[in-house]
Structures are given as structure tokens and as C-alpha cells.
Amino acid sequence: MLEVTDLDVHYGSTRILWNVSLRVAPGEIAAIMGPNGSGKSTILKAIVGLVKASGGTVTLDGATLLGVPTHQMLARRVGLIMERRCLFPAMTVMENVRMGAFHPAAAAGFDENLAWVRQLFPVIDQKAGVAAGQLSGGQQQMVAIARGLMGAPRYLMMDEPFLGLSPKIVDQIAEVMAAVKARGIAVVFNEQNAHLSFSLADRGYLLESGRIVIEGSGMGMLENEKIRQVYLGVEAARAGDGHVG
Amino acid sequence: MSAEVFFTQILNGLVSGAMYALIGAGVALIYGTQRILNFAQGEFFMLAAFGLFLLSTQVGLPLVVSAVCAVILVAAFAALVYRAAIQPLMNREGWEFSTIAVTLGIAVLLQNVAFLLWGEKYQTVPYFIDGSIAIAGIAMPLQRVLVFATCVGVIVAMTLFLKYSRLGWAIRATAQQPDAAAVVGVPVQRIRMLTFAIGCGLAAIAAVVLAPIYAVNPWIGVPHLLKGFVVVIMGGIGSFPGAILAGFVLGIVEAIGITLTSSEWRDVIAFAAVILVIWLRPAGLLGKS
């Protein structure tokens, strides 16, 4: 179980997160939903050590994760797929995928994981020798997820995995998330679209201005009155414009 | 210009070009991976030349052993300098300017320490190989052939290292996306320190093969630093292959240019060439705009 308790983060003198608590168990999907700038990405970055927490705890099966360097997170089987993919643009698609298993902890399952991600994402073989920076946004997202899975994480953080993607690619990524969950891997992702977030999630969290204001099961979040009025209502209006995310 | 003179200058240009390419590759490697303009690169060159002089002529070690030791010692010293003086600046606001100021300070400090220790007298180091070889009827000193072969060999080895080795992948990943590199398990700070040491080590390799040709003094590194920057700008800032290509282009252009004018025009020709290149291709020969 990955547990975040009363997490605080400051950027300089500005407080970004206020007593954020959440948890996810193996084989579960947890969604952090909130408007732009609410601090969603900061939670995931704090969990993997890319930003420093100023208070609270992050534990994995009871052992603290705070203070573990980012490059040692895969030794604890915690991985992150970063916002806007952050692929290595001048490296080829296959080099990017193989880089996902750079940490020695990922070496044992390398062949099996590579076969799995190639099956999940045929684009890996189709574009193996192409520089990752030349791919479309959807293709880049697939390579980024493949790179994340190559690290053999048991807990996978996904920072805005649907950002800027077409509805067709969104559906594909959602199917991949289900496949990842079926392997017993816990997923924590963040997203601005309430319906998309909570229909995929076992647990849901609504983050506003750095605070968790509502939490519950995915279904429970979809039925919550405030979420229905404020977030799903807004989205229903946007849906008419064909807006995604 | 007769065909023989032209061909001789092409050969000379290739030798100078290989040297420029190696020095430029070191500057490009450091700038390309961490955006640090290392103004002390020339002084690491100077230290390696003095290291070779000391170990071979004062301590009495064999020349090749002295050269290898000098390169290793300079690379290790560069790693220490990075850890002590540069890394602490990297997370601070305005680190780009701070690192320029610090590396300039290190350059001045090392020059003055060298001046205090060895004075301004020009020190000589014996040739690794005496004699000459005829290439298409043109005599070429074997020491210059060694410079060419060493520089080209190291550049090829470095290119293969970056492309195929695990450490090379870590360096490339750190250069392109440091946070993503950390997430996949790359110890980014250690890789940056190592890259700085390798970049300075490349200058040190150039220094030990050139030291027998150029006399060694505390200011020997300054013109090489300038040529390193010229090559990096001409090739496309931060581009490793660009620096190598630009090194050879610069070497040949200089060699032909000084034949048509005089050797005093060498630097004028070099800087005119870089201005011409960035006028025609602002991103450099292999840079991406």
C-alpha cells in the first residue's frame, strides 16, 4: 500500500499543497482530479522525490519514501510517467523504451516486459529506429507509458496521461491502464476531466487549491452532488464544443 | 598556390582540425549535457601539458605512462572542481552566469598557480615519436601523425561510447531530459560530474599529444579555449558531431587561409569563418534552430 499522509509542499515561500492524504493498493487505480494549477502534478513529483516535501509522510508498505533519491525509486518499484511525456527526443523509440529499464532493479524482467509493451503498443516496432521527438503526441504518450512499464514498477504514477490526446488515443490509453491494473500494478494518475478520471478509478480525489476536498470511490465521486454540478456540468457544456480534457 | 603546397596545407589542416575537433568536443559535451560554458577548459589543457612535463622530465616516468597519468589526474581534478565549486551552484537562480564566473575564476587561479610554480619560461617535452613519414611525396613529422591519429581515435571511441555504452546512454538521457533520466534510474548528479571530468579529459588528451609540438607555459590553454568555443559555435552549440565537423572545417580553412595570407592572420581567419557560418546558418553547421 502506498500512503500519502498530510503532505505539504512549498515552492519558495508559496505553499502549494496543504495536508494532502491519499492511498492506493496494488491492483487499484486512484485518480486525482482537479483544475489546472491545483497542485496535482506536485503530489506525484513529491512522491518520487522530484520536489521536496516540507511536511507529512509518504510510505510504501510502511517504509518511508521521503528522502529516497528519485533515481532510486525504481528500487522501491515506484515509477513515474511525466507530464508531456518528457521522452529523450534525440534517442530512438527503442532506445527510449530500453532506457526505461536502466535501473538494475528492472533487469530481471527485461525480456518479459519488453515483449509485453511491444504487444501493448505496436508503434514501438513500427517506429523503433525513429527519433522519439519526431512522433505525434499520441505516439509519444504510448512510448512514454512503455518506458514507464519497462521499469517494472508495482506503483505507477501517471502525470496527465490524457493531456492533448484525441478521443481515440484516450480510449487506447484507458484500455492500457486497465491492462496494467490487471497485472496487479497500482496506478495513480491525475487529470482535469472529472468523468474520465472517476470512471476509470477505484478511488478518486478532488483537489482544489492544493487541498483534497472530496474523496471516495470512483463511482461515488461521479455521483457526488458538488462534482456533478461544478465539474460534470461544465464538461457537459464543453462536450458540445468537442473539447477534450 | 601549387598543388603540392595545397596538399601539404590540407594535411596540416587535417592535423589542426583533429585537435580543434577534440578540444571542441570536450566543450560541446559539457555544454550539451548541462549548459555550462566552461571557461577553465583551456587551463585543464594547460595542467595536462605541465603534468606530462613534470612526470616525464622531472619524475622520470616513461613518456606514454606520463601522458596516461596526466590525463587521468586532470580528469579526476576536474571532477573534484565540479563537485566543490560548480555543483553547489546548479540549483540556484542565475546558475548560468554563476558557473561562467566560477569557471573564469578557476581559469585565472590555475594560470597564476602555474606561473608561481613554473614561471613564464617555456618548458619543452620530447616527441613521442621522432622522424617523419612521406604521404603522397610530402614529408609529415610522425608526431603530427600521432596527434591526428590520437584525436581521431579518441573522437571515434567517444562517439561509440556515447552511442552504445550504458554510461553513454545515461549521459545522453541526462542531457536531453534530466528529470526523466532520474526517474528511470540515472544518478543525474554523478553523471554530470563524470561528464564534466570526461569533457576536461578530452582537452587533456589533446594537450599531452600537442605538448611536444607547442612549448608548455601557463597561458598555453587560452588560445585552445578560444578555438574550442569557435568550433562549438560553428558546429551548433552543444552538438557533439557538429563540434567535430567544425573542428576539421576550421583546421582546413585556417591552413589554406594562412598560405594565401600569413600565419599572423590565423585567428582572423578563424573568427571570420565562424562569423560567416553563423551568418549563413545561425544554428551552426549541425545545430537545430
Whether A175 is covered by a domain: the verdict is no
Whether A120 is covered by a domain: the verdict is yes
Whether B289 is covered by a domain: the verdict is no
Domain interval for residue A200? 1-26+33-76+155-166+186-245
Give the pLDDT mean for B158-165. 94
Interface contact B183-A82, CB threshold 8 A: yes
* A90 and A132 co-located in one domain: yes
**Percent of chain A topping pLDDT 70:** 95
Q: Is the pLDDT reported for residue A152 higher than 80?
A: yes
> How many residues comprise chain A?
245
Interface contact B172-A91, CB threshold 8 A: yes
* A82 and A108 co-located in one domain: yes
Whether A53 is covered by a domain: the verdict is yes
Q: Is the pLDDT reported for residue B162 higher than 80?
A: yes
* A46 and A5 co-located in one domain: yes
Burial class (CB in 10 A: 0-12, 13-18, 19+), A68: middle
Q: Is the pLDDT reported for residue A235 higher than 60?
A: no
What is the number of structural domains in chain A?
2
Contacts of residue A89 in chain B, CB cutoff 8 Å? 176-177
How many angstroms separate the CA of residue B165 from the nearest CA in chain A?
12
Interface contact A70-B184, CB threshold 8 A: no
Whether B286 is covered by a domain: the verdict is no
- CB contacts < 8 A, A to B, total 67
Interface contact B185-A106, CB threshold 8 A: yes
How many angstroms separate the CA of residue A90 from the nearest CA in chain B?
7
ipTM of the complex: 0.90
When scoring A47, A102, A156 by the number of chain B Cβ atoms within 10 A, the one with the most, hence best to mutate, is A102
Interface contact B180-A103, CB threshold 8 A: no
Contacts of residue B186 in chain A, CB cutoff 8 Å? 71, 102
How many angstroms separate the CA of residue B191 from the nearest CA in chain A?
12
At residue A82 the predicted structure's pLDDT band, cuts being 50, 70 and 90, is very high
- Tell me the C-alpha to C-alpha distance, in Å, between residue B20 and each of A218, B114, B147, B259: 62, 24, 11, 19
Chain A residues with CB under 8 Å of a chain B CB are 48, 50, 69-74, 79-80, 82, 86-91, 95, 98-106, 147, 151
pLDDT tens-digit series, residues A51-66: 999 999 999 999 999 9
Contacts of residue A100 in chain B, CB cutoff 8 Å? 184
Interface contact B184-A69, CB threshold 8 A: no
* A210 and A138 co-located in one domain: no
Q: pLDDT value at position A241? A: 46
> Of A242 and B255, which is predicted with more confidence?
B255
Interface contact A69-B179, CB threshold 8 A: no
* A90 and A68 co-located in one domain: no
* A53 and A147 co-located in one domain: no
When scoring B184, B188, B193, B240 by the number of chain A Cβ atoms within 10 A, the one with the most, hence best to mutate, is B184
Whether B60 is covered by a domain: the verdict is yes
What is the number of structural domains in chain B?
1
Give the pLDDT mean for A127-147. 95
Give the pLDDT mean for A223-228. 90
Contacts of residue B173 in chain A, CB cutoff 8 Å? 88, 91, 99, 102
pLDDT tens-digit series, residues B245-265: 999 999 999 999 988 888 888
* Cα–Cα distance, B160 to B89 (Å, whole number): 31
Whether B287 is covered by a domain: the verdict is no
Give the pLDDT mean for B141-163. 93
Whether A69 is covered by a domain: the verdict is yes
Q: How many CB atoms lie within 10 A of CB B147?
A: 22
* A58 and A104 co-located in one domain: no
Interface contact A86-B172, CB threshold 8 A: no
Whether B217 is covered by a domain: the verdict is yes
Whether A172 is covered by a domain: the verdict is no
Mean pLDDT of chain A: 92
Q: Is the pLDDT reported for residue A122 higher than 80?
A: yes
| Minimum-distance CB partner of B172 among A50, A79, A88 | A88
pLDDT tens-digit series, residues B32-57: 888 899 999 999 999 999 999 999 99
Q: pLDDT value at position A66? A: 94
Give the pLDDT mean for B119-130. 89
Interface contact B170-A90, CB threshold 8 A: no
* Cα–Cα distance, B67 to B207 (Å, whole number): 9
Q: pLDDT value at position A211? A: 95
pTM: 0.88
Whether B47 is covered by a domain: the verdict is yes
Whether B153 is covered by a domain: the verdict is yes
Helices marked H in B35-92 — which ranges? 41-53, 63-81
Q: pLDDT value at position B2? A: 79
Q: How many CB atoms lie within 10 A of CB A77?
A: 18
Q: Is the pLDDT reported for residue A189 higher than 90?
A: yes
Q: pLDDT value at position A238? A: 52
Give the pLDDT mean for A100-129. 95
pLDDT tens-digit series, residues A207-220: 999 999 999 999 99
Q: pLDDT value at position B1? A: 64
Q: pLDDT value at position B194? A: 97
Which residues are CB-neighbours of B25 under 8 A, at least 6 positions away?
B155, B158, B202, B240, B243, B244, B247
* A108 and A44 co-located in one domain: no
Partner residues linked to A55 by β-bridges: A8
DSSP string, B239-271: -HHHHHHHHHHHHHHHHHHHHHS-GGGHHHHHH
Domain interval for residue B30? 3-280
Contacts of residue A86 in chain B, CB cutoff 8 Å? 177, 179-180
How many angstroms separate the CA of residue B190 from the nearest CA in chain A?
11
What is the dihedral angle through the alpha carbons of A165, A181, A205, A5, rounded to the nearest 10 degrees? Answer: -130
* A139 and A197 co-located in one domain: no
B125 φ/ψ angles, rounded to the nearest 5 degrees: -120, 135
Q: Is the pLDDT reported for residue A240 higher than 70?
A: no
Give the pLDDT mean for B206-233. 90
For position A222, which CATH number holds? Answer: 3.40.50.300
Q: Considering only alpha carbons, which residue of chain B is nearest residue A95?
A: B169
For position B263, which CATH number holds? Answer: 1.10.3470
Interface contact B185-A91, CB threshold 8 A: no
* A196 and A124 co-located in one domain: no
Partner residues linked to A92 by β-bridges: A131
- Tell me the C-alpha to C-alpha distance, in Å, between residue A53 and each of A35, A72, A210, A214, B108: 21, 17, 13, 22, 40
Interface contact B169-A102, CB threshold 8 A: yes
* A136 and A245 co-located in one domain: no
> How many residues comprise chain B?
289
At residue B121 the predicted structure's pLDDT band, cuts being 50, 70 and 90, is confident
Query: In the Cβ-directed half-sphere of B137, how many Cα atoms lie within 13 Å?
Result: 5
* Cα–Cα distance, A42 to A53 (Å, whole number): 9
When scoring A47, A52, A70, A98 by the number of chain B Cβ atoms within 10 A, the one with the most, hence best to mutate, is A70
* A48 and A91 co-located in one domain: no
